[in-house]
Amino acid sequence: MRAINYGLDRPAAKVTAAILCCECRLCEAYACPLELSPMSYYVAIKGQLKAQGWKPEKRQDGAGPEPHPMRDGRLVPTHRLIARLGLTEWEDQICPMDEVDYCPARVTIPLRHPRGIGAPAVPSVTVGQEVAVGDLIARIPEGKLGANVHASISGKVSHTSETGIEIVA
Ligand code: SF4
């Protein structure tokens, strides 16, 4: 946000930490008293970094990013978040989905993030294979960055493709 204030014309080179933004929206929905949106800025910066082919440097010791030392003191109370979002009136209401053990008869699980972030996962199951809830059904190729995919229901794999895996209960 300071880079915007200072009018840096190519801020992406200065704001590489933007790559750590997971787009949770907490900053714009809760944290910023001026109701600014750091997330929108970071999304734009991430687009610039991607277009420039920027990649984070690997640390010499091989370690990844570490949590901020003040992390535990910065957790957001759910009750305050609900109030800030103007949802207090409904805070005690029970979601019908929580009341029943909802289990759809069929699901299709995408193999890549809806925003195209990261590499797509590759199916590790075959059509006809039985899977249980939580089983690993697609994994990220070695050396790529992305999220492995797990079964959300128990059942039989009925279809796999480059884009998704269908499971029938
Ligand atoms: S910058 Fe905002 S949207 Fe991004 S991780 Fe932080 S709180 Fe979440």
One-letter amino acid at 147 equals A
Q: Which residue range(s) make up the domain with 25? A: 2-90
> Of 71, 90, 109, which marks where a domain is finished?
90
For residue range 133-156, list pLDDT tens digits in order.
Answer: 999 999 999 888 889 999 999 999
For residue range 4-22, list pLDDT tens digits in order.
Answer: 777 665 556 567 788 888 8
Both 110 and 36 in a single domain?
A: no
- At residue 101, does pLDDT exceed 70? yes
Both 70 and 108 in a single domain?
A: no
Report DSSP state, residue 125: S
**Sheet with 106-110: strands ordered across:** 106-110, 164-168, 155-160, 130-131
Both 58 and 132 in a single domain?
A: no
Contact 124, 152 (CB under 8 A): no
| Full-model pTM | 0.57
Residue from 15, 16, 22, 43 to probe ligand 1 pocket by mutation (most atoms less than 8 Å from CB)? 22
Both 137 and 67 in a single domain?
A: no
> Of 72, 90, 108, which marks where a domain is finished?
90
Distance 165 CA to ligand 1 centre (A): 30
